[in-house]
């Protein structure tokens, strides 16, 4: 790889991933788990174990030790590991595209750059998804080393399967291996081998899920349903469209070798895409590439591999038909658009981080409310999405150093002003559930209500919100709590 390519990769990586290093606090579900760092109480990691995420559990324990030893905030370690994992996935995608699909260096590099700018990486700003990226990285190392270093590949492969959706993607990878290597004379032997490997994967999944729960507290999390049957229909339409495009562009051409190669590539892309989505569609989860304000983009994380393949295919076709210069311009536009889309997610996360910091700041400016229920309503704006009740309780903990308050979040009933009765229903449970909601010291039945007023605040964020967040510059928003 020449100097220009190296500098290009470094520049794209810096632009695309640098914001992942900026969060200094936790987002989404990681906020509840983060109480473990402040109390050293492993009960706050219980939910992780109940969902079978043992790699994530191990990361929390390991990062806790690093925090104790170095004094560096835990979120910084999660930030760094998230970036390293994405860089690792990009590197392994490059190797995969070169070795399995025989792409040129330039086409494979386009695919690897596509990994760096993949539009859903903003979800890694929540520490709970760092392990997802790590597992994908380990999985891709195992795929690339399977034949060369099986003693290395096998344990990495087994560890990576702690992200259970990778069981499905492994079937897609096996399908790619078959599609890219099968010949007429070897069809039967390779088909039997591929089916046998997939059968072993299914058996391994059944054994793993008999020992490890994947259904959480409720027992119905990640259960099979038909809520996303439309996703299968949409995939079928996409497959028909791609096969139709292949037929008109290559199927009728005189170059049979090129036509066959493109058909294999299209089928390989469809194999990877289908199995990257299958695990989520089967349990009713959609592929939301443009869900900037939430963390549902995590359901699309596995599609980073078919995305890289698609870009490499596009680069090869463009270079063949219109030359290298046109290919570079076209792929540059695609990558730039992906960065813009990715930054939409980053800006939403900046808005959420800033919102909670301003709430902590405002709590410190008012008289401490009595222990009990606290209703906080947004005033003059829409609060960021996926700010749960335990996130607001964490704001009280940050402001006062105690867990004496039971507040509402801003997710389930957006714009709703919570009454005393509403909050009683939310927290009507055993003391343990209050503890895990970060209201572990709450006593009494006191009820306090505030309007949280902000000026010129937008839940979708703005690029300069990162400045406001990092430098605690809240003046332009004039945050204030008004007691009602």
Residues 208 and 317 in one domain: yes
Q: Is residue 431 assigned to a domain?
A: yes
pLDDT in tens, 177-212: 999 999 999 999 999 999 999 999 999 999 988 877
Residues 65 and 201 in one domain: yes
**Domain end among 322, 343, 367:** 322
| pLDDT value for 433 | 82
Query: Cα-atom radius of gyration of the chain, to the nearest Å?
Result: 24
Q: Please state whether beta strands 405-407 and 372-379 pair in parallel, antiparallel, or not at all (unpaired).
A: parallel
For residue 307, give the nearest of 264, 278, 269 by alpha carbon: 269
Tell me, yes or no, whether 9 and 146 share the same domain: yes
In a domain, 338, yes or no: no
SS3 for 284?
coil
Residue 349 lies in a domain: no
Query: What span, in angstroms and rounded, lies between the C-alpha atoms of 37 and 30?
Result: 11
Q: Residue 375 pairs with which residues in a beta bridge? A: 449
User: Within 10 Å of residue 116's Cβ, how many Cβ atoms?
Assistant: 25
pLDDT of residue 157: 96
Give CA angle at 131 (85, 38), nearest 5°.
115
At residue 272, the pLDDT reads: 95
Same domain (yes/no): 33, 122: yes
Domain boundary, last residue among 322, 344, 363: 322
What span, in angstroms and rounded, lies between the C-alpha atoms of 127 and 24? Answer: 11
Given a cut of 70, the residues of the chain with pLDDT beneath it are 1, 214-227, 253-254, 283-284, 288-294, 296, 412-414
Tell me, yes or no, whether 240 and 379 share the same domain.
no
- Give a yes or no: residue 327 inside a domain: no
Domain membership of residue 401 (yes or no) is: yes
Which residues have CB under 8 Å from 127's CB, separation 6+?
26, 27, 30, 33, 34, 74, 75, 78
Helix (H, G, I), strand (E, B) or coil at 233: helix
Q: Is residue 473 part of a domain?
A: yes
Q: How far apart are alpha carbons 279 and 299 in whole angstroms?
A: 9
Q: How far apart are the first and last CA of the chain?
A: 64
CA-based nearest residue to 38, from 74, 77, 76, 11 = 74
3-state class of 53 per DSSP?
A: coil
User: How confident is the model at residue 3, as a pLDDT?
Assistant: 80
**Domain identity same for 287 and 140:** yes
- Statement to judge: residues 312 and 427 lie in one domain: no
Q: What is the pLDDT of residue 183?
A: 92
Residue 167's domain comprises 3-322
Dump the DSSP string for 348-413: HHHHHHHHHHHHHHHHTTSPPPPSEEEEEEEESS-PPTT--HHHHHHHHHHHHSS--EEE--SSTT
Do 309 and 242 lie in one domain? The reply is yes
Residue 82: partners with Cβ closer than 8 Å, 6 or more residues away = 20, 121, 124, 129, 130, 133
Q: How many domains does the chain have?
A: 2
Residue 346 falls within a domain, yes or no? Answer: no
Cβ atoms within 10 Å of 200's Cβ, excluding its own: 12
- 2-33 pLDDT, tens digit each: 788 889 899 999 999 999 999 998 887 788 88
**Within this chain, do residues 317 and 359 fall inside the same structural domain, yes or no?**
no
**Based on the domain organization, do 66 and 154 belong to the same domain?**
yes
Phi, psi at 194, each rounded to 5°: -65, -45
Long-range pairs for 199-206 at CB < 8 Å and ≥24 separation?
Answer: 201/167, 201/170, 201/171, 201/174, 204/161, 204/167, 205/164, 205/167
Alpha helices of 282-323 — where are they, by DSSP H? Answer: 304-322
Tell me if 468 sits within 8 A of 474, measured CB to CB. Answer: yes
Q: Which of 146, 147, 133, 148 is nearest to 89 (CA)?
A: 133
- Do residues 89 and 238 both lie within one domain? yes
Among 322, 346, 365, residue at a domain's last position: 322
* d(C-alpha 271, C-alpha 288), whole Å: 19
> Which helix (H) or strand (E) is 171 found in, with range?
helix 165-181
CA pair distance 17, 378, nearest whole angstrom: 31
Please indicate, yes or no, if residue 379 is contained in any of the structural domains: yes
Do 251 and 304 fall within a single domain? yes
């Amino acid at each position: 790889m020449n100097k220009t390519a190296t500098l290009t990769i470094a520049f794209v990586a810096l632009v695309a991933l640098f914001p992942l290093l900026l969060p200094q606090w936790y987002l989404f579900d990681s906020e509840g788990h983060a109480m473990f760092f402040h109390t050293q109480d492993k009960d706050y990691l219980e939910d992780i174990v109940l969902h079978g995420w043992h790699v994530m559990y191990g990361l929390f324990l390991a990062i806790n030790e690093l925090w104790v030893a170095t004094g560096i905030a835990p979120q910084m370690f999660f930030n760094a590991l998230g970036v390293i994992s994405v860089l690792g996935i990009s590197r392994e995608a490059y190797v995969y595209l070169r070795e399995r699909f025989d792409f040129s260096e330039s086409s494979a590099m386009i695919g690897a750059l596509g990994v760096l700018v993949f539009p859903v990486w903003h979800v890694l700003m929540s520490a709970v998804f760092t392990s997802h990226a790590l597992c994908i990285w380990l999985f891709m190392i195992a795929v690339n080393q399977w034949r060369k270093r099986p003693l290395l590949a096998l344990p990495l492969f087994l560890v990576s399967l702690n992200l259970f959706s990778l069981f499905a993607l492994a079937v897609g990878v096996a399908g790619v291996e078959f599609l890219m290597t099968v010949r007429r004379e070897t069809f039967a032997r390779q088909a039997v081998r591929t089916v046998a490997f997939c059968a072993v994967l299914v058996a391994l999944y059944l054994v793993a899920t008999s020992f490890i729960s994947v259904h959480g507290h409720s027992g119905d999390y990640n259960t099979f349903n038909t809520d996303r049957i439309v996703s299968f229909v949409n995939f079928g339409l996409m497959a028909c469209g791609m096969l139709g495009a292949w037929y008109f562009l290559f199927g009728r051409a005189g170059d049979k070798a090129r036509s066959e190669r493109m058909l294999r590539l299209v089928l390989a892309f469809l194999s990877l895409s289908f199995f990257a989505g299958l695990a989520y569609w089967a349990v009713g989860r959609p592929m939301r590439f443009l869900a900037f304000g939430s963390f549902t983009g995590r359901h699309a994380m596995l599609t980073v591999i078919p995305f890289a393949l698609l870009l490499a295919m596009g680069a090869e076709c463009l270079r063949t038909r219109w030359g290298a210069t046109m290919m570079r311009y076209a792929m540059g536009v695609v990558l730039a658009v992906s960065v813009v889309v990715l930054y939409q997610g980053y800006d939403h996360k900046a808005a959420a981080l800033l919102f909670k910091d301003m709430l902590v700041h405002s709590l410190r400016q008012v008289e401490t409310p009595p222990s009990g229920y606290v209703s906080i309503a947004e005033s003059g704006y829409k609060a960021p999405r996926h700010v749960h009740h335990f996130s607001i309780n964490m704001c009280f903990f940050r402001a006062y150093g105690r867990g004496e308050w039971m507040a509402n979040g801003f997710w389930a009933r957006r714009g709703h002003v919570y009454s005393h009765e509403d909050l009683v229903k939310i927290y009507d449970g055993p003391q343990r559930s209050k503890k895990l909601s970060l209201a572990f010291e709450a006593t009494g039945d006191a009820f306090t209500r505030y309007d949280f007023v902000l000026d010129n605040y937008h839940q979708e964020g703005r690029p300069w919100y990162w400045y406001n967040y990092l430098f605690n510059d809240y003046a332009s928003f004039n945050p204030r709590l008004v007691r009602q």
